[in-house]
């Protein structure tokens, strides 16, 4: 009978999951997954992580996110749950909400959205009806999938109108935003971007939204850490809703949250649960609470300033090496490099850098003539390397390695030399939770 049950093999012996020793470590229980995690640890430690939306979260955040809280269902909100045994997770969620409000000066926070897409969806479902019009940044100019891309729910459910950046400056063209707003009378205007290297003027957007009677939402996912540190203007002061992820410049666990005014709190909360999600991920909410506490510390301000300093330093090395950057530089944590000027495409550049231990992502640049799967550019961000303690001096080395690889993308001896140097170099820069 036992032999008929589904099970796993260990040391040639079939073990039924029902009788599997629950105290076994991951290494013993599931070596394939364990080994892949070890390989990823090594990759994260040895390489140069320059994906603009990634970061290394703290050991404390990881500890909170990896706890027994993952076992608990807690549909509802603190004090009003649909499950028993929520007295301790209530403490955690109530504190996460309070810390988010304190950090950004918000009246209300919902910390249950599982990710940035859900945070955005929760606002759309709260304020829009299917078929309603919203105005947001074009994906090809730096916007996000959930800002109305045609294959995304946001582009399928709603009438998305897109603004972009000026062809000349690569900066948001506010005359165009205002023109589209007057013409289309959107119910919602969205500011915020995933691949825009400049500080966004939220008050200017708010003015346009007010003029046309639109609700104003800011998706600050990429630059939330810079806002928390007071280095970029705070959208909470001018927007009706602010959505974010917690894992990019904010350096928390991978997740989302929404900030709004007290008057919108009830409608938003009802949309998140039961409107859009079931049980919140309490272990991740605990990680977010820890992240909000860390981001309120004076050290975080120093960290966030260093992210910007590093981005500017790296931008300069790349531009001096003949690479064109969209908008001619950066005010934040990222830059968009047009690699066609040096005879490459974004795909070739991404792959060549990957082989050399430098991780970036291919990206469209404004007014790109190429396609998303092989665009003209790469997106480069400095939040993760800054967490490892790297400063302007190190950015010069990083920039030189990038240029060396991009100048000889197919030369295996160059790749080998660079990856060797990078593996030696990164030994001196710790990664939280690894060493
Ligand atoms: N996918 C993220 C990024 O890389 O920017 C945004 O959600």
* pLDDT range class, residue 12, cuts 50, 70, 90: low
| 107-164 residue pLDDT tens | 999 999 999 999 999 999 999 999 999 999 999 999 999 999 999 999 999 999 999 9
Residues 226, 98 share a domain: yes
- The residue out of 245, 277, 295 marking a domain boundary is 295
Asked if pLDDT for residue 23 goes beyond 90, the answer is no
Q: Are residues 242 and 364 in the same domain?
A: no
DSSP-assigned beta bridge partners for residue 7 = 16
Q: Whose CA is nearest to atom 4 of ligand 1?
A: 53
CB of residue 120 inside a 6 A radius of ligand 1:
no
Question: Hey, which bits of 306-424 come out as E strands?
Answer: 324-325, 334-338, 358-359, 361-363, 377-381
Instruction: Answer whether residue 389 is part of any domain.
Output: yes
The reply to whether 185 falls in a domain is: yes
Asked whether the predicted pLDDT for residue 2 surpasses 50, the reply is: no
Distance 101 CA to ligand 1 centre (A): 24
At 218 the three-state DSSP class reads strand
Q: Is residue 53 within 6 Å of ligand 1 at its C-beta?
A: yes
355 found inside a domain: yes
Confirm whether 28 is domain-assigned.
no
* Cα of 145 from ligand 1 centre, angstroms: 9
Q: Tell me if 252 sits within 8 A of 60, measured CB to CB.
A: no
The answer to the question of residue 260 being in a domain is yes
Pocket test for ligand 1, best of 52, 194, 247 (most atoms within 8 A of CB): 194
Model confidence at 6, in pLDDT bands (50, 70, 90)?
A: low
Q: Which of ligand 1's atoms lies nearest the C-alpha of 361? A: 4
Comparing CA positions, the residue from 56, 143, 54, 50 lying closest to residue 378 is 50
What CATH number does residue 208 fall under? 3.40.640.10
Within-domain flag for 187:
yes
| For the CA of 195, the nearest atom of ligand 1 | 5
User: Which stretches of 223-297 are DSSP H helices?
Assistant: 224-228, 262-270, 282-295
Query: Residue 21: pLDDT above 70?
Result: no
Using 50, 70 and 90 to split pLDDT, how confident is the model at 336?
Answer: very high
Domain hosting 333: range is 301-426
Q: Are residues 76 and 128 in the same domain?
A: yes
Q: Please report the pLDDT score of residue 435 as a whole number.
A: 82
Q: Are both 249 and 316 inside the same structural domain?
A: no
Do 367 and 412 lie in one domain? The reply is yes
Query: Which residues have a catalytic role annotated?
Result: 73, 75, 219, 245, 248, 254
Kindly state whether residue 12 falls inside one of the protein's structural domains.
no
State the Cα–Cα distance between residues 7 and 24, nearest whole angstrom.
Answer: 15
* Count of helices and strands (H, E) across the chain: 16, 17
**113 and 182 assigned to the same domain:** yes
* Final residue of a structural domain among 271, 295, 319: 295
For residue 307, being part of any structural domain is answered with yes
> Does 194 contact ligand 1 (Cβ within 6 A)?
yes
User: Residue 404 belongs to what H/E stretch?
Assistant: helix 392-407
| 236 shares its domain with 375 | no
How remote is the CA of residue 49 from the centroid of ligand 1, in Å? 15
State the closest ligand 1 atom to the C-alpha of 54, by its place in the atom list counted from 1: 4
Tokens 């509802």 locate to: 76
Q: CA quadruple 113, 114, 118, 119: dihedral positive or negative? A: positive
Q: Which of helix, strand or coil describes residue 257?
A: strand
Q: Say which CATH number the domain at 313 has.
A: 3.90.1150.10
In this predicted structure, the answer to whether residue 15 has a pLDDT above a threshold of 70 is no
Domain stops at, among 251, 270, 295? 295
The 3-state secondary structure of 111-162, one letter per residue = CCCCCHHHHHHHHHHHHCCCCCEEEEECHHHCCCHHHCCCCCHHHHHCEEEE
Domains in the chain: how many in total? 2
Ligand 1 atom nearest residue 51's Cα: 4
The verdict on the CB of residue 142 being under 6 Å from ligand 1 is no
Residues 306 and 209 in one domain: no
What global pTM score does this model have? Answer: 0.94
Residue 64: phi and psi, rounded to 5, are -60, -40
If asked whether residues 262 and 324 sit together in one domain, one would say no
Residues 95 and 199 in one domain: yes
Predicted confidence (pLDDT) at residue 5 exceeds the cutoff of 80: no
Residues 72 and 160 reside in one and the same domain: yes
Where b means 16+ CB within 10 Å and e means fewer, 171-184 reads: bbbeeebbebbeee
**Residue matched to tokens 């500017």:** 312
Q: Are residues 70 and 212 in the same domain?
A: yes
Q: Is the CB of 246 under 6 A from ligand 1?
A: no
């Amino acid at each position: 009978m036992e032999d008929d049950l589904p099970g796993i093999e260990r040391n040639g012996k079939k073990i039924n999951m029902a009788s599997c020793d629950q105290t076994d470590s991951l290494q013993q229980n599931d070596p394939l997954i364990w080994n892949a995690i070890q390989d990823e640890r090594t990759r994260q430690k040895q390489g140069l992580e320059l994906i603009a939306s990634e970061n290394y979260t703290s050991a404390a955040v990881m500890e909170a996110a990896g706890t027994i809280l993952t076992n608990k269902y807690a549909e509802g909100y603190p004090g009003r749950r649909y499950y028993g045994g929520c007295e301790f997770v209530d403490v955690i969620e109530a504190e996460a909400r309070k810390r988010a409000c304190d950090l950004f000066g918000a009246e209300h926070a919902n910390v249950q959205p599982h990710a940035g897409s859900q945070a955005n969806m929760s606002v759309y479902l709260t304020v829009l009806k299917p078929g309603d019009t919203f105005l947001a940044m074009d994906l090809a100019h730096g916007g996000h999938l959930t800002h109305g891309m045609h294959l995304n729910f946001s582009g399928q459910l709603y009438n998305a109108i897109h603004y972009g950046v000026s062809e000349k400056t690569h900066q948001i063209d506010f005359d165009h935003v205002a023109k589209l707003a007057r013409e289309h009378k959107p119910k919602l205007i969205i500011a915020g971007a995933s691949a825009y290297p400049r500080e966004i003027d939220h008050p200017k957007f708010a003015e346009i939204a007010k003029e046309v009677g639109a609700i104003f939402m800011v998706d600050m996912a990429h630059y939330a850490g810079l806002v928390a540190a007071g280095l970029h203007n705070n959208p909470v002061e001018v927007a009706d809703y602010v959505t974010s992820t917690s894992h990019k410049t904010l350096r928390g666990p991978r997740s989302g949250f929404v900030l709004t005014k007290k008057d919108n709190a009830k409608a938003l909360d009802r949309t998140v649960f039961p409107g859009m999600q079931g049980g919140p991920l309490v272990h991740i909410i605990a990680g977010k609470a820890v992240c909000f506490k860390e981001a309120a510390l004076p050290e975080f301000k120093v960290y966030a300033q260093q992210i910007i300093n590093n981005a500017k330093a790296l931008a300069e090395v790349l531009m001096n090496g003949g690479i064109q950057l969209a908008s001619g530089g950066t005010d934040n944590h990222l830059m968009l490099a047009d690699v066609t000027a040096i005879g490459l495409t974004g795909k070739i550049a991404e792959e060549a850098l990957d082989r050399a231990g430098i991780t970036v992502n291919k990206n469209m640049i404004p007014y790109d003539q190429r396609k998303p799967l092989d665009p003209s550019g790469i997106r480069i961000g400095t939040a993760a390397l800054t967490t490892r303690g790297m400063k302007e001096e190190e950015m010069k080395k990083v920039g030189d390695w990038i240029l060396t690889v991009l100048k000889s993308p197919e030369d295996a001896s160059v790749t080998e030399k660079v990856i060797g140097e990078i593996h030696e170099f990164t030994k001196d820069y710790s990664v939280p939770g690894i060493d």
